[in-house]
Amino acid sequence: MDIIKKQLRHGIFFTAIGQYAGVVSNFFISIVLSRILGPSVYGVLNIMLVLLPFFQLITSLGVGPAIVQNKELNDRDYSSLFKILFAISLVAFVVLGGFCIPICVIYLKPLYYNLRLFFSTLCLFFSGL
């Protein structure tokens, strides 16, 4: 029983470090970007960044922890999961790209077109994979 408690504390400790390190790094990156970019460009960037975590949450579907917890998966299961997540990432890529077009038109900022490609391709698609 002591071993389980020790492993639980160890896991919670490193999970907390990972979570808070991400929050702190995002905070400092936001500070630097707000100084470098200026108000209008930084506002454009933040509008795009609001959408990104929502779509990343959809593409991951909590599959990572499920794979780790299930010890009975074979190579065929992994292949099937990869194909499913690839399809979901592809759909999310298209949806985010299509969703950003009205935002580009509403705000009349051509910068959104380039940001949409960057965020939907690099961030969203590869995080889903």
C-alpha distances (whole Å) from 1 to each of 4, 5, 14, 69, 70 are 5, 6, 20, 20, 22
Give the pLDDT score at 87.
Answer: 84
- For the entire predicted model, the pTM comes to 0.59
Between residues 38 and 55, the one the model is more confident about? 38
Q: Which two tokens stand for residue 92?
A: 């999310």
Give the pLDDT score at 124.
Answer: 67
In this prediction, residue 65 has a pLDDT band, given cuts at 50, 70 and 90, of confident
Q: How far apart are CA 58 and CA 54, in angstroms?
A: 7
